[in-house]
Amino acid sequence: MSNLFKQAIKSKLTQKQLNIIRKTYSLSQLAYQDLRVNLLGQILPLKPTAISMMANDVCNSRCQMCLIWQEKKDYEMSPDDLAQVLSDPLFSNVVDLGITGGEPTLRKDLPELFRVACTSLPKLSSASMITNAIIENVVKQRIIQCAEVCRQYGKSFQVMVSLDGIGEVHETVRGRKGNFDSAIAVIDYLRAAEIPVTFGCTITNSNALYVDELLDFVKTKGLRGSFRVAEYINRLYNEEQTEYIRNFDAKTAYHLGLFFFRAEHSFELNSARQKTYRSIRGMLAEGKSRQTGCPYHTQTVILTSRGDLLYCSPKSPIIGNSLKESAAKLYFSNLGKRQEIIKDHCDDCIHDYHVPVNFREKVAFFFKSKRRHDKYNCQKLVKQAAQLSKRPRNIGALLKLTSKAVLIVGWYGTETAGDKAILWTIIKNLRSRSQPPEKIYLASLYPFISQWTIKEMALGEVVVVETFSPEFEQICDRADEVIVGGGPLMDLEVLNHLLYSFIQASKRGAMTRIEGCGIGPLVNPLYVQVVAEIMRLADHVTLRDAASAARGLNEFARADIQTVADPATDYVKSLKSQLANTTPILGKCPNVSCFFREWEIGYAGQRTTEEYVNLKMQFETELAKLVAFVAEAQDSAVHLLPMHSFQVGGDDRIFNRRLATEISSLFIESEAESRVLFARFVVSPEEILQTMYHSQFNICMRFHSVLFAEALSVPYLAIDYTGGGKITAFLTAKGQLDRLIPLEDVAAGKWQAKMESLLKLSQV
């Protein structure tokens, strides 16, 4: 649109109307791009808009995932050669150029390659390069020269520095001592020089376990960058590197699935990269094929240092040499090979090629979100539920249930170790019936999480369905029995799917049960209404504490509630007799085991944000002192174990790593590394129980860690972070309030007398 036309429109329309026009125009542009590039790009091929160019085919690194370093120096296009190649009409639409290697800074004339690109590519707007930063001073010099060339020609310029871990982890992957320090030095130098710099992490079998720590590190430094999984790539000569590339066992693959979820939701800002991370997670943790496209399908091309042309790095054959033949002729006359690559290899390619969210994906997301909002709106569901009459409760039928299909709903897909133990008990009870269900379905907010739980807990054949999906709704319409399994009925929007499932079941007269749940924190008036309807529609209710039962009676008029032990207790009891012959998962004995979580603002009560932040800092400082005190008193190592390992709900491993640093600072430096240990992998409920059983003392914070320790009859301290909530209620019922300390008392340093008393008790 012309500026004059834009001004005329602005003068006559409201801001709201202008926003609608802008969104419509943007969407139409996206639709055209999707149609032209993604749908018609193979039929009516386009000229490339980006080039990935290898400056050389030699390297001074010794990377596990690449064997270029074994190559001998061969022909490298001179700047004049490059000018000849780039003058070809094929490259007239190129806007982005990325120079890689080998290691591009080994070329003294590297700045001239950028100069040729700037003068030969009429539409070029941005240029970039990747470096291993091994020869620190040379790398700095070359980059400054390249940046100056691009600045002279008005082109943007940025650098990616390879960074695969912290310290020795990075150097193991790259095969070069001292490379971590040189990489950080180059990054810091470029940031000071105001040259845009990012990091690039390649994940192999060697560093897979340590990528979370790298993410912690780069977030602390304020660095941006990307993570990729090492892939078999023809131009890297790495087909024999099977020890390192995509060689992950099931647990490591799941660990990486959790990591890429974290990177997508708490680090990456670019929607195209977020889409790539979702695809990588699907391939690693869910067994899916590639779920994102690739710019090399239509718009990007590889140019090697010899002038060879390839359609992509991983699987493309050399289609010809652009110094000997026209690049355009080579590119357009061999498109059948590109089609073969797409057909035979792309579905299994995990390489991190990024493409933006396209028009079809955006529209699909809009309609999926609208459908979910319309169907699962809490206010609408409350009204629907209110129209259902209260049915007579046939409690006697519970003793002889013969349900063929049972659906379990709750917070699954975000389950903690305690939730997993609850699920184990629910399923055990279902299968203990005289006529067990033929099918057990588990509704999961994030199915890859629950799939792992089924495997980890050896639960056998349980069908995991995605909550809110059409499949979930079909099962709601045909299940004979719906169970809200464990977890608290609390202020969360996803209460909506619990009420939805009860509404559908109640319409058909199917059995509805609440099994071993708690109530609260629950204060939001709308969610109170939702819970009220869930309680009203339930045929049978068991709650796990007296406070919840009292609220059920007084607020929700359920006089028939049974108060039962938390279902997780049965799981602990089933393993208790077997634990004597096990060992702690972190190996070192004796130990003090800790089960902490980050204290979140949702538990701050009436405190201001400033008050919350100050109290949180004080708590963490004193908590480290408390742990070190117990470890010294017991002459023990410290084991920090997660009860939860997923971004949604708070990954305890993140907090544990931070706290480990704080605790280590309180020990003699030579002892710190061996005294303070934290789990990098996910930890199963059974492994938690093993460690608890063998610990000299346990310090517990998450609710189910307190329950586990109490059920095992092992020495423990419970920290109440809920302000007198479920932990206090549980220990009150158990007569164990002497084992409780409020978080505020820890923060105030009022823990030593309590600990001395409990440690004496544990030695009796």
Residues 67 and 216 in one domain: yes
Residues 124 and 219 in one domain: yes
E strands, 469-626, are: 481-485, 488-489, 511-519, 540-543, 562-563, 591-595
Q: What is the CATH number of the domain that holds 140?
A: 3.20.20.70
Does the structure show a pLDDT above 90 at 61? yes
Residues 554 and 609 in one domain: no
566 occurs within a structural domain: yes
83-130: pLDDT as tens digits:
999 999 999 999 999 999 999 999 999 999 999 999 999 999 999 999
Residues 699 and 714 in one domain: yes
305 occurs within a structural domain: yes
Q: Tell me, what's the pLDDT at 42?
A: 78
Q: What is the CATH number of the domain that holds 510?
A: 3.40.50.2000
> Residue 11 has which token pair?
């003068």
**End position of a domain, from candidates 511, 542, 572:** 572
What's the average model confidence in pLDDT over 387-415? 80
Residues 531 and 637 in one domain: no
Residues 475 and 525 in one domain: yes
What's the average model confidence in pLDDT over 5-18? 64
**Total of domains in the chain:** 4
Residues 77 and 224 in one domain: yes
**Distance from C-alpha of 634 to C-alpha of 762, rounded to nearest angstrom:** 11
Does the structure show a pLDDT above 70 at 396? no
Q: Tell me, what's the pLDDT at 49?
A: 96
Who's near 557: CB < 8 A, 6+ residues apart?
none
**Distance from C-alpha of 398 to C-alpha of 406, rounded to nearest angstrom:** 14
Q: Tell me, what's the pLDDT at 764?
A: 52
Q: Tell me, what's the pLDDT at 444?
A: 97
552 occurs within a structural domain: yes
Residues 660 and 734 in one domain: yes
Does the structure show a pLDDT above 60 at 365? yes
Does the structure show a pLDDT above 70 at 414? yes
157-207: pLDDT as tens digits:
999 999 999 999 999 999 999 999 999 999 999 999 999 999 999 999 999
Does the structure show a pLDDT above 70 at 144? yes
Does the structure show a pLDDT above 60 at 726? yes
689-710: pLDDT as tens digits:
999 999 999 999 999 999 999 9
Q: Tell me, what's the pLDDT at 289?
A: 96
298-307, 516-525, 714-723: which has the minimum mean pLDDT?
A: 516-525
Nearest to 155 by CA among 184, 185, 190, 117: 117
Label residue 16 by pLDDT band (50, 70, 90). confident
**Distance from C-alpha of 400 to C-alpha of 566, rounded to nearest angstrom:** 23
Residues 446 and 545 in one domain: yes
Query: Which has more pLDDT, 744 or 15?
Result: 744
Does the structure show a pLDDT above 60 at 6? no
Does the structure show a pLDDT above 70 at 391? no
**End position of a domain, from candidates 526, 541, 572:** 572
167-181, 437-451, 592-606, 668-682: which has the minimum mean pLDDT?
A: 668-682
Label residue 8 by pLDDT band (50, 70, 90). low
Residues 632 and 541 in one domain: no
Label residue 401 by pLDDT band (50, 70, 90). confident
**End position of a domain, from candidates 554, 572, 590:** 572
> Residue 244 has which token pair?
């390192």
566-601: pLDDT as tens digits:
999 999 999 999 999 999 999 878 899 999 999 999
Q: Tell me, what's the pLDDT at 397?
A: 58
Q: Tell me, what's the pLDDT at 356?
A: 87
Percentage of the chain lying above the pLDDT 70 cut: 96
Query: Which has more pLDDT, 366 or 458?
Result: 458
428 occurs within a structural domain: yes
Query: Which has more pLDDT, 488 or 464?
Result: 464
**Distance from C-alpha of 441 to C-alpha of 464, rounded to nearest angstrom:** 6
How high is the mean pLDDT of the chain?
93
Does the structure show a pLDDT above 80 at 244? yes
What's the average model confidence in pLDDT over 685-691? 97
77 occurs within a structural domain: yes
294-304: pLDDT as tens digits:
999 999 999 99
Residues 532 and 643 in one domain: no
381 occurs within a structural domain: yes
> Residue 64 has which token pair?
């596990």
Q: Around 425, how many Cα atoms within 13 Å sit in the side-chain half-sphere?
A: 24
257 occurs within a structural domain: no
Residues 70 and 131 in one domain: yes
Q: Tell me, what's the pLDDT at 763?
A: 67
65 occurs within a structural domain: yes
Domain span at residue 7? Answer: 1-35
Q: What is the largest CA-CA distance in the chain?
A: 89
